[in-house]
Amino acid sequence: SMSESHFSRSFKQSVGISPYQYLMQQRVERAKQLLEQQSISIYKIIFVSLIGMTAPLVGAGIYFLLSNQTQIAVVDVFYLVLAFTLAGIICSVWLLNNLAHPIALAQKELTKYNQTGEIPDLPAYYRDEVGLILRGIKKTARSTNRLITEKNDFTAMLSHDLRSPIVSIIGLLKLIKAQPESVQAKYYCDKAEEFGHHQLNLMESILSLLNEENQSQQGPKKVNVNLSKFLAQSVGQFELSLKNKQLAVSQDIPPQLVVNVEPYSFSQVITNLLHNAIKFSRKGDQIYLNASNGGDMVKISVEDQGIGFSLDNPEILFERFTPERKRGTQGEPTNGLGLYLTKKIIEKHQGTISAESPGNNKGATFRIKIPCG
């Protein structure tokens, strides 16, 4: 008959719950383990658990509805439910293994990445939580490789740009020591001082870069500043350099124009651009510093009449340790970090920066767009 079978009664007496309740608990425990260990969506686990739990009931119900028998033996019911239970378990295990497959693949690829450094080859067609995890792993691996490359570049730069001037200074000091009364002694001292200033500027750039990268996860503490006064103060810092090269700065900035910036880091931006304009300008040239209101953004440009550049892709100028480094018109050194740092600061301010030039010896213009105050 359709009454409770002897198997069910015996199982309940020994375990304390019915077979269906036991199966339900097993599915829930399995789901919890997978959720904790593999971060699979709880809704998928519930769905798989329901398949395993309801398979016997649904299967038996369909069988009874389609069967013409009015009386069914208890043993037949037992075997029927057992068969559908096994089918439900097999189906659940298969589904769970499929859900866990991308996680196992990620673990395998990460192990391979740790051993060889090869970027994980993970599928990109998953659109659920697992897909987010896989894409996150791939993005993290790429970022790690980029950081390793930058570290190697940084080490190469330190071994060359820091070592070479120090070797030169030591050589000059040896010459001064050997010929302290020589006419050339003053020249050697001046060159040693020049190399020393270069080292100091390079170290300041490196420290600024490291500080900027250490703070990369934090947004700048911005305030509204009057752009005209701010830029005038920045130009004033270069009074001596401008005088030495007989350069003039023409400023066209609306007196009431306000920008929303972090003052210290934004001053580095203006300082770097003005420093470059002065460095690459010839004696007697003009530098143009302009700003205008462009709706939600303020447009700032720094234009010079100097050596310019001829590049198919000017963005290379903003790369870290750019290969397009040039000395200034009076031999001023370049460390290749200034424009890279400038771009990072502008991007943290939700702005953009670009460079353009009509060609070699035709000047250059750097344009900034930054939010209004």
How far is it, in rounded angstroms, from Cα 134 to Cα 125?
A: 10
pLDDT at site 129: 66
- pLDDT tens digit string along 44-66? 666 777 777 777 777 777 777 77
Average pLDDT in the chain: 77
CA distances from 235 to 71, 171, 242, 370 (A): 101, 36, 9, 19
Look up residue 89 and give its two tokens: 């378990």
Whether residue 97 has pLDDT greater than 90? no
SS3 (DSSP) at 370: strand
How far is it, in rounded angstroms, from Cα 368 to Cα 359?
A: 20
Q: Answer for the pair 274, 234: CB distance below 8 angstroms, yes or no.
A: yes
pLDDT at site 65: 73
SS3 (DSSP) at 107: helix
Range scoring the smallest mean pLDDT among 147-161, 216-230, 277-291, 323-337? 147-161
Q: Answer for the pair 334, 325: CB distance below 8 angstroms, yes or no.
A: yes
pLDDT at site 130: 67
Q: Domain coordinates of the chain in residue numbers?
A: 6-116, 157-214, 223-371
Q: Answer for the pair 354, 245: CB distance below 8 angstroms, yes or no.
A: no
- Pairing relationship of beta strands 297-304 and 258-261 according to DSSP bridges: unpaired
Look up residue 100 and give its two tokens: 């866990």
| Domain at 223-371: CATH architecture | 2-Layer Sandwich (3.30)
Tell me the mean pLDDT in the region 153-163.
63
User: From the CB of residue 311, how many other CB atoms can be counted at a distance below 10 Å?
Assistant: 15
Kindly compute the dihedral angle of the four CA atoms of residues 188, 193, 197, 202, in this order, to the nearest 10 degrees: 40
Whether residue 156 has pLDDT greater than 70? no
How far is it, in rounded angstroms, from Cα 157 to Cα 165?
A: 12
SS3 (DSSP) at 259: strand
pLDDT at site 276: 92
- pLDDT tens digit string along 194-213? 778 767 776 776 676 666 66
How far is it, in rounded angstroms, from Cα 269 to Cα 69?
A: 87
Q: What are phi and psi of 183, to 5 degrees?
A: -65, -30
Whether residue 157 has pLDDT greater than 70? no
User: From the CB of residue 312, how many other CB atoms can be counted at a distance below 10 Å?
Assistant: 5
pLDDT at site 5: 46
SS3 (DSSP) at 288: strand
State CA 184 to chain mean position distance.
51
How far is it, in rounded angstroms, from Cα 227 to Cα 215?
A: 24
181 CB-side CA count, 13 A: 0
